[in-house]
Amino acid sequence: MKIILIQPPIEDFYYTPIRNQPIGLLYLAASLRRNGHEVEIWDLRAKKKTSVPIPQELSYLSEFYPSGDQSPFKLYSGYSHFGFDWNEIKKKVERTKADLFGISSLFTPYHQEALRVAQLIKEVKPGIKVVMGGSHISCDPEGVLSSLFVDFILLGEGEERLPILLKKYEKGGLDQLRGIDGIGYRWEGEIRVNPLTSFIQHLDSLPFPARDLIHLDSYRIHRKRATMIITSRGCPHQCSYCSTPIVMGSNFRARSPENILEEMKECYKNYGVEIFDIEDDNFTFDLGRAKKLMRLILEHFGEARLTLYAMNGISYASLDRELLGLMRRAGFQTINLSLVSKNPSSKERLNRPVPKKEFEEVLRDAEAEDLDVIAYAIFGIPGQTLEEMIETMIYLMGKRVLIGPSLYYPTPGTPLFHYCKENRFLPSSPIQWRSSAIPIETENFDRLDLVTLLRLVRVINFIKMKMEKGEIEEGMTWKELQLFLKDSNPWDEGQIWKQLLLRLIKERNFYSLRKEKEGFIFIKEKTSEKVISYFFDQTYEKPILRAHQDDRDSLKGD
């Protein structure tokens, strides 16, 4: 069969191309090829963006994301369609001679775009079957199959399931599908979903992703070819907000370090890839395996020949200094650590794993190994208080880290999703279940509070980076910063950020920045008085530390 696998376009306020390489489809394509099928991949997201109107369900965000704002502290300022437009997609479908389409639907708020692609396929070629897979499918299988544009769904992993589905269906129709776990379909008008009961145990048996089917130049980092790599699946932790146990299971399944190295060697030799982003859900769960992989990379590629990332985050619960040192030598310059919250009771409520070391110790180890840290905090979780969120932010302000702020969004099937639904915190439309939509409001916080928190994080990170450049002295308090800013030239366009900062500190209010013919104008924006007052009351005389451990330029010759 000729099969086309599709990553649909998305519509949102932002898009990160380097985080959207369709690695799952590449794995699926390789498996289908092994089973004798002809495969194409359409990454319909890999194209320019086009401004589109904000959907009615998200219209409330206009007051938080002012159009045309040029402030360095802005959040978003426009809603866009990222990828091929619908007419282009329709024409591609018309031209192809595919026998089946497989569509990826990873994220619930973007499912409507995946469904629209399926609709276009059915409008142009109604006889062709459409299969959907991805995280959203595992979280809401019956809901997906309720659409007449989708014929089959795959839960969990598809590398073994899809070839079996195709073989069984070709032999005898829908009655052949009853015994295959993790497959859904319609039978005589009734939706049938075979429960997901199995996962691939021997990951080394999978063929390497079919990277020749995409344009790797579309996924560059610092102008160099980059690729995602998955070294393990599943996570034994049961964090209440995470869908990994639903999609990939709660058993940690790992590839051997030798198998991973072979894939990296192939990427380097055949595709010129020098940058690898490890996209595991829990890369360091098996500490010995992670160390062995780093040692193998060092043995084969040498020290810092590659650039390594783990942008999906690393659990600091299982880190030690030896691994951090090996990671630095193998090619990591920055690690993304998930703090979530400084409050122990909040972590306990979210069922976060108990770490072997305190976060402070991990930061000291990272600094000793010359590793920069992006520390992620989650704001807007039901049960959190504003004070807790602000105190987490203040804590990270005083550490040599960049703050990675994440707004909680409800993922179907997770315990926290059910809690939100039961307590009527859940917005009515799934399009709102995304971070950029600021989905959750409770008796403890509202959307304006969360927007103000996010803007404050932007300001703190901005100051940290100015300290890197030597434009602000490290360790300044907000009180000292105010005195420093008073001496700035208000008419110097290159120093306009100083005026925005000074207004924030003095007036305790955010301003947007607009460019007019006569120059820039400041426009007062809505700001949470509760958040801004508590923040400055707690931090006015506390120092701010820069983001990085040291000047990276001075390390290049090491």
CA atoms of 545 and 300, how far apart (whole Å): 37
Q: State the pLDDT at residue 552.
A: 46
Contacts of 370 (CB under 8 A, 6+ apart): 328, 549, 550, 555
Q: Residue 111: how many CB atoms within 10 A of its CB?
A: 24
Average pLDDT, whole number, for the chain?
92
Looking at residue 149, the DSSP 8-state letter turns out to be T
Residue 10 pairs in a beta bridge with 82
Q: State the pLDDT at residue 493.
A: 65
pLDDT band at 471 (very low <50, low <70, confident <90, very high): very high
Q: State the pLDDT at residue 558.
A: 35
What is the average pLDDT across 374-390?
A: 95
The pLDDT tens digits of the residues spanning 525-534 come to 999 999 999 9
Q: State the pLDDT at residue 555.
A: 36
CA atoms of 73 and 52, how far apart (whole Å): 23
What is the average pLDDT across 453-471?
A: 96
CA atoms of 520 and 488, how far apart (whole Å): 16
Q: Quick one: tokens of 367?
A: 């600094």
Q: Taking 80 as the threshold, does the pLDDT of residue 64 lie above it? A: yes
Q: State the pLDDT at residue 357.
A: 81
Q: Identity (one letter) of the amino acid at 216?
A: L
Residue 354 pairs in a beta bridge with none
CA atoms of 55 and 57, how far apart (whole Å): 5
pLDDT band at 16 (very low <50, low <70, confident <90, very high): confident
DSSP per-residue letters across 395-461? HHHTSSSEEEEEE----TTSHHHHHHHHTT-S-SSGGG-SGGG-----SS--HHHHHHHHHHHHHHH
Q: State the pLDDT at residue 68.
A: 85
Residue 104 pairs in a beta bridge with 133
CA atoms of 37 and 166, how far apart (whole Å): 10
The pLDDT tens digits of the residues spanning 335-345 come to 999 898 988 88
Q: Taking 90 as the threshold, does the pLDDT of residue 251 lie above it? A: yes
CA atoms of 72 and 13, how far apart (whole Å): 16
CA atoms of 499 and 496, how far apart (whole Å): 5
> ∠ CA 293-299-302 to the nearest 5 degrees?
110
Phi, psi of 301 (to 5 degrees): -95, -20
CA atoms of 322 and 478, how far apart (whole Å): 37
Classify domain 2-47+83-193 at the CATH topology level.
Answer: Rossmann fold (3.40.50)
- Which CATH number applies to 215-444? 3.20.20.70
* Domain coordinates in residue numbering, the chain: 2-47+83-193, 215-444
**Cα four-point dihedral sign 318, 322, 324, 330:** negative
The pLDDT tens digits of the residues spanning 134-164 come to 999 999 999 999 999 999 999 999 999 999 9
Q: Taking 80 as the threshold, does the pLDDT of residue 58 lie above it? A: yes
What is the average pLDDT across 247-256?
A: 94
Residue spans of beta strands (DSSP E) within 230-326: 232-233, 253-254, 275-278, 307-309
CA atoms of 509 and 529, how far apart (whole Å): 8
- The gap from C-alpha 546 to its chain's centroid, in whole angstroms, comes to 25
Q: State the pLDDT at residue 557.
A: 35
CA atoms of 274 and 227, how far apart (whole Å): 8
Q: State the pLDDT at residue 347.
A: 83
Residue 379 pairs in a beta bridge with 407
Q: Quick one: tokens of 215?
A: 């344009």
